[in-house]
Structure 1
Amino acid sequence: MVWSDEHGNRLDDYAQPSVAVDVALLTLDPEGRLAVVVHDRPGAHEHGRPALPGTFLHVDRNETLREAALRALRAKVNVRGHEPRQLAVFDDPGRDPRGRVLSVAHVDLVPPEAIAATSGVLVAVDELPHTLAYDHDRVVTAAVAHVRALYHRLPDPARLAGEEFTLLELQQVHQAVLGERLQKDTFRRHTAPHLVETGEVRAGGVGKPARTFRRR
């Protein structure tokens, strides 16, 4: 049985756009700033321009969007073992000069040590080139807004500070992700309901040892 709609058209009678995935992989750079992993495009199209790791979906292989995103990370920036989440669909008809391409953008925020072997380049999100390849600057903007919204609500959901941390370490991570200075007392009142003390202390450079916490 061949499917057709109320006009008698089959699915292949309609124009089929290409589907791509692009991954905004965020982390902290060596200077403690929120950064994104980019690479210089090697192909003929947009050659040499910085871009997010991305690829076309292999429909003929029954590839899922998740599988395509993981493949893009492996092939373009040598990153393995992560689980980027779907962020948004970018469907501007002019976003790719090669033709109509829908991009299902993905986002992930990981500790720096998790991508130590990457072949990509870390660029602070506030110092990105004026225009990345295609519309990847818009993808990064959306990804940054997404992770900052998470960090406004919860204490370090990506666990950049590890499983146990001092309040100062937690605040420093939030400041890096949010890109702003936080008032200590206000921050601690906001995060206190989500934390429990471990009963341990950690020696610091100056002053008495600091109590450590974990997420509730």
Structure 2
Amino acid sequence: MSARTRAGLSDYPRPNVAVDIAVLTVVDATLCVVVQRNTDSEGVALPGRFVRERHTVEETVREVLELKLGLSPDHVRPHLLAVFSDPDRDPRGWTISIAHAVALPADELSDVVGEVAPVTSDGQLTSGERLLYDHEQIIAAATDNLRERYEDQPDPDNLLRAPYTLSELRELHEAILGRRLMRDSFNRRVQPLLAAEITADGQPATRVGGGRPARLYSKDAPPTATFGWRLPSAEGREK
């Protein structure tokens, strides 16, 4: 192509660029996502923001956290999930979404701006209400990503406050994975990656629930430590 016919940047159409964030948590053994009411289009969507002129994606992520969600951008660090670029994904115009995801303990979302809504494994709200744009696809990708991590490590996103019992840890993994797990196999898999809590007098720390006292644990393994293979399902057995 000659210099006379070579196209310049201004000759190419430019899409809008947005950042959308899926904030996941577990409430009452149920996987949830933070959604917000969109008053302009009378629908529900993930919190997001268009990238402003001369702003970076990282700056926009911080703006969504602080301005849209009321969260501290210095303590909450979403990770890049995927780019969603279907030209028809947003009826308002050609928009590319640089989607991010983060999982936070439920108590850190007590003052979040939005609704903490139960969600299915395929990104649908359990209420049956549909999300705007392709945000169900973003949530589905975020939950898939979360499940991959929880198949591999004990509570890698620290959704449980230590110390906790093995039953509490297993129930968290079950809520995220969407299936029941074999109790004994799960315990054997996670115990080498945990530290048993000890009281001041050197005795095992326990918590009394509905039955006998249960040992308390916290994580005691490097971030690279894994279960080694997929967690076994209960397959109809009782917990």
For the aligned pair, the TM-score class normalised by the smaller chain equals: 0.7 to 0.9
Aligned position for 2:16? 18
Aligned position for 1:95? 89
Q: What does 1:148-187 align with in structure 2 at a 5 Å threshold?
A: 148-187=147-186
C-alpha distance in structure 1 between counterparts of 2:71 and 2:38, whole Å: 16
Q: Secondary structure at the match of 2:216?
A: strand
TM-score under structure 2 length normalisation: 0.79
Q: Secondary structure at the match of 1:158?
A: coil
C-alpha distance in structure 1 between counterparts of 2:128 and 2:66, whole Å: 24
Q: Secondary structure at the match of 1:153?
A: coil
Contact 2:104/2:159 (8 A) holds in 1: yes
For the pair 1:37 / 2:22, whether they are aligned, the reply is: no
Structure having the larger proportion of residues in helix: 1
Q: What does 1:38-77 align with in structure 2 at a 5 Å threshold?
A: 38-43=35-40, 47-58=41-52, 60=53, 62-77=54-69
Aligned positions, number: 207
Contact 1:201/1:209 (8 A) holds in 2: no
Deviation at 1:74, TM superposition (A): 2.8
Q: Secondary structure at the match of 1:165?
A: coil
Deviation at 1:130, TM superposition (A): 4.8
Aligned position for 1:204? 208
Aligned position for 1:85? 79
Contact 2:49/2:60 (8 A) holds in 1: yes
| Structure 2 spans left out of the alignment, 5+ residues | 121-125, 199-203, 222-239
For the pair 1:188 / 2:187, whether they are aligned, the reply is: yes
- Give the aligned CA root-mean-square deviation in angstroms: 2.1
Q: Give the AA of the match of 1:195.
A: L
Contact 1:151/1:157 (8 A) holds in 2: yes
Q: Deviations over 1:131-190 (max 9, x none)?
A: 210000100111011001100000001111123222111111111212221110111122
| Structure 1 spans left out of the alignment, 5+ residues | none
Aligned position for 1:132? 131
